[in-house]
Amino acid sequence: MSRKVIVIIATLSLALLACEKSESEKKQELTQREKDSVFASSRVPGAKAVGKALRTADSATTRQAQIDSVERIP
C-alpha cells in the first residue's frame, strides 16, 4: 500500500470515531416509574400487583393535590 492510501484510511477512521455517539447519548436510563410501568404490563407473576400499586399511588397523589388546592382557597 502506498503511503497516501494509509493516510486516507487513517483520516477516515479518525473521522468516523469522532462522529460516534457518546455513552450517555446511546443509553437513556429509565426512571423507576417507567421501569415499574414496563414490568406491570408484562406477564411475569406479580406484575398485576405492581400495576395496582402504581394506580393506587396515582390516586393518592391526585387526591392529595385536590386536598391541598382546597386548603389554599381563603
pLDDT for 71 beyond 90: no
Quote the CA–CA distance of 44 and 35 in Å, as a whole number: 14
Of 8, 29, 11, the C-alpha closest to 19 is 11
Taking alpha carbons only, the member of 49, 65, 70, 18 closest to residue 10 is: 18
Q: What is the pTM of this model?
A: 0.56
pLDDT at residue 47, as a whole number: 93
- pLDDT grade for 23, boundaries at 50, 70 and 90: low
